[in-house]
Amino acid sequence: MAIQRVEASDLLEPTRLGELLRAREPFVVREAPGITGSFARATAAFKRKRMELWDQKNDFFRIFRGALEDHDGESCPCTEMSGTDTIASDEVVATDDFQVVLRFIFPGSEIDKAFVRPALEGPLAELARRGGGAHLFNTLFVSRGETRGILHAHNYDVFGVYPEVGAGSRMIMFPVELYARLRSKCMPARSGVINFHNYELEDELMDQAHTLELEPGDLVHIPFCWYHRVDHRGLYVHMASNWHLPALLESRLAAVRPYIAADEWSLFEAHTRRFRVWKLLAPVDHLAFLAAERLPLLQRLMPGFERAKSRLLDAPR
């Protein structure tokens, strides 16, 4: 099934934008031009200012599937992997094929000015201004070579901007209705984020997939709890802008509840509702994570920290 195409002007109309978001269906806006030289700009920024990147490598699919099989499922394996499987950004440009992720784009940084601000000045600005969206964070993916993505989903809406993609790159999506068929599990990350990871591969379900052949400049809406994966080739740059939509929260929770395992629902709902205090919670969690990385003694205190946080944030209101 092809992913719905909409006009950029649709996102500037509050009524039409609201209809699109309430439908909880993926769509693509294909009128924005690609940002010429995005790959070169990103790698040049990596070289100028040393930063820590998540080193996924081009065979991340194989690496992640192995980690998932060995994981207890009580937390998202990506949280641990993104903190341990790292590479210094100035080392990336010296490699041939690679895939790296800048997990959080800091406001005011060179990457923010080059990739985030142009996107947020366009249709996404209307989402914040008229669509009732609460912006969470932005992530940058940069790759060279051929890579199969991993299928996953989130408890928030994603607006993916693709300023540069190689020919043959493809987006694949599935609705949450396949949660049980994929043998999925809700896995908490940090600050309210829940990721769905599937123990059953999606290969036998491709006849039910929503697909899109990506083009430079595409803006793709990945709705709340929709599975997605990108297989890409050549030079690839993707900026994911992640949003919580408070006005649609109750309807989104009601829509996905029939498909999420009953024994996981309380966890899923409680973490999703934490987004109401994201602006406070995310910095606290980030600082606690960095401190625990540098001071091993603090790692033993983290379970108690998480329990106290759950009692404070998840109590019935």
Q: How far is CA 216 from the centre of its chain?
A: 19
Lateral strand order in the sheet of 152-154: 184-188, 194-198, 152-154, 227-231, 170-174, 210-213
Q: State pTM to two decimals.
A: 0.92
Tokens of 46: 């990596």
Confidence (pLDDT) at 133: 79
Confidence (pLDDT) at 223: 97
Domains of the chain in sequence order: 4-279 (2.60.120.650)
pLDDT reading at 285 higher than 70? yes
Give the residue from 302, 141, 309 showing the smallest Cα distance to 232.
141
As a whole number of angstroms, the distance between CA 175 and CA 186 comes to 15
Residue pair 31/74 in contact (Cβ under 8 Å)? The answer is no
Residue pair 50/88 in contact (Cβ under 8 Å)? The answer is yes
pLDDT reading at 222 higher than 70? yes
> Three-state DSSP class for 135?
strand
Tokens of 37: 């030289």
Residue pair 193/108 in contact (Cβ under 8 Å)? The answer is no
pLDDT in tens, 113-152: 888 888 777 667 776 666 667 889 999 999 999 999 999 9
Confidence (pLDDT) at 298: 65
pLDDT reading at 33 higher than 80? no
pLDDT in tens, 6-30: 988 777 777 888 888 999 999 998 8
pLDDT in tens, 147-167: 999 999 999 999 999 999 999
State whether the Cα torsion 279-155-111-67 is positive or negative: positive
Q: What is the DSSP string of 170-201?
A: EEEEE-GGGTTTTTEEEEE-STT-EEEEESS-
Average pLDDT over residues 218-245: 95
Residue pair 21/159 in contact (Cβ under 8 Å)? The answer is no
